[in-house]
Amino acid sequence: MAVTDADVPPPLLDIPKAKEKKYDRQLRLWGIGGQMALEETHVLLINSGSGVTGVEMLKNLVLPGVGQFTILDSAVVSEADLGVNFFLEDASLGKFRAAETVRLLMELNPGVQGHAITEPLETFITKDDGLTPFNLVVAAAPIDATVLERVQTHSQTLHVPAFYFHSVGYLSSLSLLLPPAFPIVDTHPDSTATTDLRLLRPWPALSRFAVEKTAGLEDGTMSAPDRAHIPWACLLLHYLEQWKRQHDGKVPNTYKEKCEFRNLVRAGDPNEENFEEAYAAVLKTLNPPTAPSALDAASPAFWVIANAIAQFYAKHEQLPLPGAVPDMKAQSADYIALQNIYKSKARDDCAEVVASVRELEKQTGRSTKQPVDEKEIENFCKGAAHIHLVHGRPFQIARAGQMIAFGDRAKAMAMELTMPESLIGLHIAFLAWDEYVATHSTPASQSGGVGLKILGSGADDFAIDTQRVTGTAHKIVDSLIKEAGTFVEDPDYSEVKDRVGKFCMEIVRAGGGELHNIASLTGGLLAQEVIKVITRQYIPVDNTCLFDGVASRTQVLRL
C-alpha cells in the first residue's frame, strides 16, 4: 500500500499535552477514563490519633491528581507530630493539624483542591448532610464507635465506599466497605490469562484459514520458509484435526492426552520456532471456554449486559470472543488475516449481545432516551471472562460492653484462628483495642470528659494495659469459637491465645503511636485501594487487609 504524505500527521501535532506528560506513568495503568474518575472524586479523611497514615494516603492521591480532599481533624500540632509527620514543619507547632497538613499537601499538585475542617468530630457528624459532599470516606482509628456507625450507615445508604484503618507501631489493618454489589469490568487480567483462541471449537472462517495455511504440510509440497511461518494457532488446528481422526472425533482432554498431543505437534518439525511456539501453547490454550460464576444484582447497565451475555452463553455454550491474538511467528499478511478473522468474529459476537441488550431494554421498559452505551457493551464482551463482582460487607465495630457478633463469618474466622501463619489474631487484637477505646473514652466536650483513651500511652501503662487488652482479646477468641459452634483443643487453643497475646503486646508497646514506615506503607495500600475503587479498574481488596511489619507480610481476610 502506498503511503502518501497526507497520511502522515503534521509534525508535533500528536505530542502529549502538559498534563498527559506529567501523568504519563500512571495513564499507562488506568488510562484517561480512570484519570477522569479520579479527578471527579472528593475524598474525606476523618483523622485521629498520631494521624500520619491518612495523610500519607492523601499524598499518594494528591500526586496522581485526585479532584478534592478534605481532612476532618480538630487536633493541634504537637512536637510529637513533627517527628513523625512529613506534612508539618516546625512553624506548624500549635496550629490546627488539619489546616497545616492540607496546606503542605496542596504544594504537591497545583491541580488539586484541599480543605480542612477543624470542628470537633462529634458535632460535625451530627449534622444531617455533613458527609454528602464526599464520594469516599476514610476513617482512622481510634474513633468513637457511634461516629464509625454513622459513617457506615451513610456509606450503606448512599453506596459511598468507606475505609476504616488502624496503624499502631509495627502493625496495621484496613477494611473496605463497598456497596452490596460492586462490579468491575476492567479488571486488567494478565495478558496470558486473556488469550482465548477457541481452538477446540473453531468457527468456519477460522477452520478454512487453517486448512489454507497448512496445505502441503503433510505431503512435503510446502516450501521451507512457508513451513517456518505457519502461525502456531493454525498448526494446532491442523494437528487437532489429525488427532480427531485418530481418536473417534474427540479432542485431547486429559493432561496425559494433551502431553501426547503436544509431542505429535513437536514431531511435525523439531527445529522450527513456530512449531516450538505451538508445542508450548498446547497446555495453555487447549481448554474449553468457561463462564464466570458470580452475577446477580445492582448497577442497571451492568446487569442488563450481564443478562444478555448469559443469554449468549446459554445459546452458544461459550462467551463472546475477546478477539485478541497473541504474537506468533508468521508472515505479516497471514498474521493480519488471522487477526482479522478473530476480530470480525468478536464483532459478530458483540453485535449479537448488543441486539439482546436492545431487546432487554424493550422488555424491561428502560428509557429509550438512555440506551446502554455500545462501547460499554463492547468492553464487557472483551472482558466477559474476567468480570469481577465484590459483595461489600459491613465493618466489624466494637462497642462498649458488647460482644461482637460475627454472624455468617464466624465459622470461617474460627477455622482461620488455628492456622499458625494466619494474621487473624491481629484483627482480633485491634478489635480488643477498639473495645478498650469504646469502654474507657468519654467525649471531651462532656464535663470531665477525657476524649479517646489510648492503651499504653502513659509511661507506666505498658504491662498493665498489655494484660488488659490481652484479656479482652482472649474473650473475643472464646466468643468467636462459641459462636462458630466449634471447639479448639490444646495445644492449638494455647497457641491461638499466645499468638493473639503477642499482637496485643506489640500494639500496647507503641502507646497508640505510629512508626513512620508503617504509616507510609499503610498509606500506600489505602491510596492504592482508593484508586481501584474510584476508577473501577483492577480488583479491590475484599474486605480486610492486615499488615505485620515484624514479619513483613500481609494477609487479606473476608470478614
Residue 312 φ/ψ, nearest 5 degrees:
-60, -45
Q: Binding other proteins by CB under 8 A: which of 84, 200, 295, 351?
A: 84
389: left (phi over 0), alpha (psi -120 to 50) or beta: beta
Q: Binding other proteins by CB under 8 A: which of 64, 130, 322, 323?
A: 64
**For residue 133, which of 43, 35, 34 has the smallest C-alpha distance?**
43
Nearer to other proteins, 322 or 523 (CB): 523
Q: Does 124 bind other proteins (CB under 8 A)?
A: no
Distance separating the N- and C-terminal Cα atoms of the chain: 60
CB 238 within 8 A of CB 214: yes
CB 162 within 8 A of CB 136: yes
Nearer to other proteins, 85 or 356 (CB): 85
What's the chain's Rg over C-alpha atoms? 29
Q: Binding other proteins by CB under 8 A: which of 316, 329, 347, 474?
A: 329
263: left (phi over 0), alpha (psi -120 to 50) or beta: alpha
Minimum distance from residue 347 beta carbon to other proteins (Å): 14
Nearer to other proteins, 169 or 202 (CB): 169
Q: How far apart are CA 363 and CA 85, in angstroms?
A: 58
528: left (phi over 0), alpha (psi -120 to 50) or beta: alpha
Minimum distance from residue 354 beta carbon to other proteins (Å): 22
Nearer to other proteins, 88 or 404 (CB): 88
Minimum distance from residue 243 beta carbon to other proteins (Å): 27
Cell of 557: 481476610
Minimum distance from residue 306 beta carbon to other proteins (Å): 20
Minimum distance from residue 221 beta carbon to other proteins (Å): 22
Stated as kind and residue range, the H or E segment containing 545 is: strand 544-548
Q: Binding other proteins by CB under 8 A: which of 148, 236, 306, 330?
A: 330
Nearer to other proteins, 20 or 260 (CB): 20
Q: Does 315 bind other proteins (CB under 8 A)?
A: no
Amino acid at site 30? W
Minimum distance from residue 550 beta carbon to other proteins (Å): 5
Q: Are strands 553-557 and 182-184 parallel, antiparallel or unpaired?
A: unpaired
CA angle 340, 322, 31 (to 5 degrees): 100
Minimum distance from residue 446 beta carbon to other proteins (Å): 27
What is the per-residue binding string for other proteins in 101-120, x denoting contact by CB under 8 A?
------xxxx----------
In the region spanning residues 510 to 539, those forming contacts with other proteins, defined by CB under 8 A, are 510-511, 513-518, 520-521, 523-525, 527-529, 531, 538-539
In the region spanning residues 125 to 164, those forming contacts with other proteins, defined by CB under 8 A, are none
What is the per-residue binding string for other proteins in 478-497, x denoting contact by CB under 8 A?
--------------------
Alpha-carbon torsion, ordered 530, 531, 532, 533, to 10 deg: 50
Q: Does 65 bind other proteins (CB under 8 A)?
A: yes
Residue 16 φ/ψ, nearest 5 degrees:
-60, 150
- Name the DSSP letter for residue 95: S
Minimum distance from residue 270 beta carbon to other proteins (Å): 15
Q: What is the DSSP string of 137-173?
A: EEEESS--HHHHHHHHHHHHHHT--EEEEEEEBTEEE
Nearer to other proteins, 100 or 361 (CB): 100
Q: Does 294 bind other proteins (CB under 8 A)?
A: no
Q: Binding other proteins by CB under 8 A: which of 154, 247, 453, 509?
A: 509
The neighbour count for residue 273, using CB atoms within 10 Å, is 13
Kindly provide the residue ranges of all beta strands, DSSP E only, lying in 252-405, ordered along the sequence. Answer: 388-390
Minimum distance from residue 162 beta carbon to other proteins (Å): 17
Q: How far apart are CA 405 and CA 520, in angstroms?
A: 32
Size of the site for other proteins (CB under 8 A): 94
Minimum distance from residue 516 beta carbon to other proteins (Å): 4
Minimum distance from residue 541 beta carbon to other proteins (Å): 5
Farthest-apart Cα atoms in the chain, separation = 98
In the region spanning residues 221 to 280, those forming contacts with other proteins, defined by CB under 8 A, are 229
Kindly provide the residue ranges of all beta strands, DSSP E only, lying in 87-146, ordered along the sequence. Answer: 113-117, 136-140
Residue 177 φ/ψ, nearest 5 degrees:
-105, 110
Alpha carbon distances (Å) from 95 to 62, 317, 376: 22, 65, 49
Nearer to other proteins, 112 or 139 (CB): 112
Q: Binding other proteins by CB under 8 A: which of 185, 414, 549, 559?
A: 549
For cell 476492567, the residue is 186
Nearer to other proteins, 336 or 400 (CB): 336
In the region spanning residues 398 to 437, those forming contacts with other proteins, defined by CB under 8 A, are none
Which residues, in sequence order, are bridge partners of residue 171?
Answer: 168, 548
The neighbour count for residue 182, using CB atoms within 10 Å, is 20
Q: Binding other proteins by CB under 8 A: which of 267, 294, 336, 355?
A: 336
Minimum distance from residue 443 beta carbon to other proteins (Å): 25
Minimum distance from residue 389 beta carbon to other proteins (Å): 14
Nearer to other proteins, 59 or 358 (CB): 59
**For residue 540, which of 390, 429, 349 has the smallest C-alpha distance?**
390
Q: Does 460 bind other proteins (CB under 8 A)?
A: no
In the region spanning residues 19 to 58, those forming contacts with other proteins, defined by CB under 8 A, are 20-29, 50, 56
Q: Binding other proteins by CB under 8 A: which of 113, 207, 307, 331?
A: 331
In the region spanning residues 159 to 188, those forming contacts with other proteins, defined by CB under 8 A, are 169-170, 187-188
